[in-house]
Structure 1
Amino acid sequence: MTVLLPLYVHPAVAPAAWEPDRLRGTTVVVDGHDDPAYRRVTARLAAAGVPVLGYVDLARATRPLADVLDDVEGWTGHPVGGVFLDRAPTAPSAVGPVALAVRAARRGGLSEVVLNPGTPTDPLYRRLDVGICTFEGGWPDYQRWTGAGGELGDGHLVYSVPPAQLPAARRLMTWRGAGFGLVTDRGLPHPYGGLPSRLDTLTPAG
Structure 2
Amino acid sequence: MKTLFPPYAYPSPELELDAETWIIREQPGDRRTLHQSLGRIDLDLGCRSLADVLADVDAWRADGVEGLFLDRAPAGSGGVGPVALTVRLAARRGLHRVVLNPGVPTHPLYRDLGVRICTFEGPWEAYQSWDGDGSRPGDGHIVHGVPSELLTAARRLMGRRGAGFGLATDAGPALSAAGAHRAD
Q: TM-score, normalised by structure 2?
A: 0.88
2: distance between equivalents of 1:193 and 1:53?
24
Structure 2 counterpart of 1:165, one-letter code: L
2: distance between equivalents of 1:129 and 1:193?
36
Alpha-carbon distance change, 188 to 74 in structure 1, aligned in 2, over 3 angstroms: closer
Q: What is the 5 A alignment of 1:25-36?
A: 25=18, 26-33=21-28, 36=29
Give the one of 10, 17, 24 matched to 1:24: 17
Give the one of 70, 84, 94 matched to 2:79: 94
8 Å contact from structure 1 (residues 157, 182) kept in 2: yes
2: distance between equivalents of 1:80 and 1:187?
24
Alpha-carbon distance change, 138 to 19 in structure 1, aligned in 2, over 3 angstroms: closer
Secondary structure of 1:135 counterpart: strand
1:188 positional shift: 4.8
1:7 positional shift: 2.3
1:4 matched to 2:4: yes
8 Å contact from structure 1 (residues 84, 116) kept in 2: yes
Partner of 2:146: 161
Q: What is the 5 A alignment of 1:181-196?
A: 181-190=166-175
Q: What is the 5 A alignment of 1:1-206?
A: 1-8=1-8, 22=15, 24-25=17-18, 26-33=21-28, 36=29, 38=30, 41=31, 45-46=33-34, 50-190=35-175
- Specify every segment of 5 or more residues in structure 1 that has no aligned partner in the other structure, as ranges: 10-16, 195-206
Tell me the C-alpha RMSD between the 2 structures: 2.1
Equivalent pairs: percent with the same residue? 51
User: CA offsets per residue over residues 31-52 of structure 1, 9 Å max, x none?
Assistant: 212xx4x1xx25xx33xxx110
Structure 2 counterpart of 1:152, one-letter code: P
Structure 1 counterpart of 2:17, one-letter code: R
1: distance between equivalents of 2:154 and 2:148?
10
8 Å contact from structure 1 (residues 59, 88) kept in 2: yes
1: distance between equivalents of 2:72 and 2:171?
20
1:18 positional shift: 7.7
Structure 2 counterpart of 1:86, one-letter code: D
2: distance between equivalents of 1:30 and 1:156?
18
8 Å contact from structure 2 (residues 5, 11) kept in 1: no
1:77 positional shift: 1.1
- Segments of 4+ moved more than 3 angstroms: 17-23, 190-194
Secondary structure of 1:190 counterpart: helix
8 Å contact from structure 1 (residues 85, 115) kept in 2: yes
- Specify every segment of 5 or more residues in structure 2 that has no aligned partner in the other structure, as ranges: 180-184
Alpha-carbon distance change, 146 to 107 in structure 1, aligned in 2, over 3 angstroms: same
